[in-house]
Structure 1
Amino acid sequence: MNETRARILDVALDVLGENPEAGMGDIASAAGVVRRTVYGHFPSRLDLVRTLTERAVTEMTALFAEVNASPAEADTMWAQIVARVWPVAHRYRALLALRRGEFGDVIHGLLGPVDELLAEIVKRGQDSGVFARHLPAAILSQVAYGTVFAIADSFRSNGPQGARAATITSLLMLGVPETRAIDLAGDQP
């Protein structure tokens, strides 16, 4: 039963990543089960989206907390976050589109811990003069992090150029000079 549930979640990410408007029937079909099976695990589309979001938050929070504990400069930390979160961002890119839709409040609420960790890192960077101050840390972190997801959505395959582009572009959004952003991305895939 847990295997079927996990498969439904994995398939839902793929299906919703391609079409955020996809229904439970589309997900069931792609998972090779009947709709009743999907509804047996997730009584509503909201329950499915909530579970996907909780799964993403768990993965991302663990990654961010590990990087956040580092004594590195904020721009280095940000580059490390993008490198580590890229596969997660790519996998959960559907949440960005769903966040703008009917499930926005639910997703936004569940992503609170992730948003707070990102804002802390940006605030640290602003306080040390590494990041720009033209926006409050909470907003600037969302702009930069949203860029990572936008690039993940544009690069449909999890290719190497996407991670590098996401690192450099998000650092530029944070106000890091281009040469420093490129250096921080290094030979990152």
Structure 2
Amino acid sequence: MLDAAVRVLDAEPDAGVAAVAVAAGVTRQTVYAHFPTREQLLAAVLDHLTEQVVAAMDAADPGTGPAADALVRLLDAARRASGRYPALVRKLGSLPVGQDGDHRRHAPVADRLKEVIERGQGTGEFDDRLSSDWLVAVTISLAHTASAETDAGRMPGEQAAEALRTSLLRVLGARQ
């Protein structure tokens, strides 16, 4: 059902539950039995996409190589995974989410970023004067900014990815 919802909502972000049900080969009532409201369906879709991003990040082998390279691989993997559904990601990003919900959804991504940042700080590859929690927050904010610049048409995707990489490594005080 969630895979069908991702396909339908990426093609038409305002599609209703009935369209998701048809694509999933189930009745509308079946969708509502799992997700009592459209908002709950959208939240589940966002969680599903987050799981895909986290799986892509894990596949990028963040525990190997220099921390700067690992961090760039993580961010590239996340960008590619979330970039498969641009309209849907934009729609989900515009929905109101409480601070707790936002923190919970970012936690698996933040945990992976924090591991790499702390590894880099431990080896001296990254400056250790700023807390890893702050650097994770900055990393996520910069990644969202790069995505927003691409979505707004102000920067091509590859240029935004390079700007993110350069900015982030400077913030981290990476030894380049």
Superposed displacement of residue 6, structure 1? 3.2
Q: Is the 8 A contact 1:122 1:137 kept in 2?
A: yes
SS in 2 for 1:28: coil
CA spacing shift, 1:94–1:148, aligned 2, 3 Å: farther
Q: Is the 8 A contact 1:79 1:167 kept in 2?
A: yes
Superposed displacement of residue 74, structure 1? 0.5
Determine the structure 2 residue equivalent to 1:71. 64
Confirm or deny that 1:162 pairs with 2:149: no
Superposed displacement of residue 151, structure 1? 0.9
Q: 16, 36, 60: which one pairs with 1:43?
A: 36
Mapped to 2, the partners of 1:71 and 1:122 lie a distance apart of 13
CA spacing shift, 1:138–1:3, aligned 2, 3 Å: closer
Q: Is the 8 A contact 1:148 1:167 kept in 2?
A: no
Superposed displacement of residue 110, structure 1? 3.0
How do 1:171-182 and structure 2 match up within 5 A? Answer: 171-176=169-174, 180=176
Confirm or deny that 1:52 pairs with 2:38: no
Determine the structure 2 residue equivalent to 1:187. none
Aligned-partner residue type, residue 169 of structure 1: S
Mapped to 1, the partners of 2:39 and 2:60 lie a distance apart of 31
Worse-superposed segment, 39-48 or 142-151: 39-48
Q: Could you give the per-residue CA deviations for residues 36-84 of structure 1, whole angstroms, max 9, x where no partner exists?
A: x6x7474335313422331232122212223345420101111112222
Determine the structure 1 residue equivalent to 2:111. 116
Q: Is the 8 A contact 1:68 1:77 kept in 2?
A: yes
Aligned-partner residue type, residue 78 of structure 1: L
Determine the structure 2 residue equivalent to 1:129. 124
Aligned-partner residue type, residue 6 of structure 2: A
In structure 2, the gaps of 5 or more residues are 21-27
Q: 132, 137, 145: which one pairs with 2:140?
A: 145
Aligned-partner residue type, residue 158 of structure 2: P
Report sequence identity in percent.
Answer: 23
Q: Is the 8 A contact 1:119 1:141 kept in 2?
A: yes
Q: Is the 8 A contact 2:62 2:116 kept in 1?
A: no
Over the aligned positions, Cα root-mean-square deviation in angstroms equals 3.4
